[in-house]
Amino acid sequence: MPRTIFVVHPGGLGDVLLARPALRVVQAAFPSHQLGLVAGAEVGRLLHACGEVAAAFPLESGALAGLLAGPAWVASTLRDWLVRCDLAVCWMADPESRLSSTLQGLGVSRVIVRSPASSAGVGMHQEDRFLETVRDIVTAERVEQRLQLPDHLRARGRARLAMIHPGSGSPRKCVAPALLAALVARLQAIEVVPVLIGGPADDGMVADVVDACARPPVIVRDQDLLAVAGQMAHADLFVGHDSGLTHLATALQVPTVALFGPTDPRRWAPRGPHVTVLTGEPCGCDGWSAVQVCSDQSCLRIPEETLTMVCERLLRRAREVIARQTEATPLPCDAPEVMLD
Whether residue 49 is found in the same domain as residue 186 = no
Q: What pLDDT sits at residue 10?
A: 95
Is the pLDDT at 172 greater than 60? The verdict is yes
More confident residue, 235 or 329: 235
Last residue of a domain, one of 79, 103, 133: 133
Asked whether residue 201 is assigned to any structural domain, the reply reads yes
Asked whether residue 331 is assigned to any structural domain, the reply reads no
Q: Which domain holds residue 238?
A: 154-326
Whether residue 182 is found in the same domain as residue 292 = yes
What's the whole-number average pLDDT of the chain?
A: 88
Last residue of a domain, one of 102, 133, 164: 133
Whether residue 178 is found in the same domain as residue 248 = yes
Residue 230, domain CATH: 3.40.50.2000
Whether residue 127 is found in the same domain as residue 190 = no
pTM over 0.95: no
- Pairing type for strands 161-164 and 111-113 reads unpaired
Q: Burial code of 244-259, b = ≥16 C-beta within 10 A, e = fewer?
A: bbbbbbbbbbbbbbbb
> 288-326, pLDDT tens digit by residue?
999 888 888 899 999 999 999 999 999 988 777 766 654
User: What distance in Å separates the CA atoms of residue 102 and residue 26, rounded to the nearest whole number?
Assistant: 22
> 68-108, pLDDT tens digit by residue?
999 999 999 999 999 999 999 999 999 999 999 999 999 99
Asked whether residue 296 is assigned to any structural domain, the reply reads yes
Asked whether residue 95 is assigned to any structural domain, the reply reads yes
Q: Which of 45-49, 142-146, 196-200, 225-229 has the lowest mean pLDDT?
A: 142-146
Asked whether residue 264 is assigned to any structural domain, the reply reads yes
Judge contact between 90 and 120, C-beta under 8 A. Answer: no
Taking every pair of Cα atoms in the chain, the longest distance, rounded to a whole number of angstroms, is: 66
Whether residue 221 is found in the same domain as residue 262 = yes
Whether residue 123 is found in the same domain as residue 182 = no
Total domains, the chain: 2
Asked whether residue 339 is assigned to any structural domain, the reply reads no
Q: What is the dihedral of CA 117, 123, 125, 126, to 10 degrees?
A: -30
Asked whether residue 117 is assigned to any structural domain, the reply reads yes
Whether residue 267 is found in the same domain as residue 120 = no
Is the pLDDT at 194 greater than 60? The verdict is yes
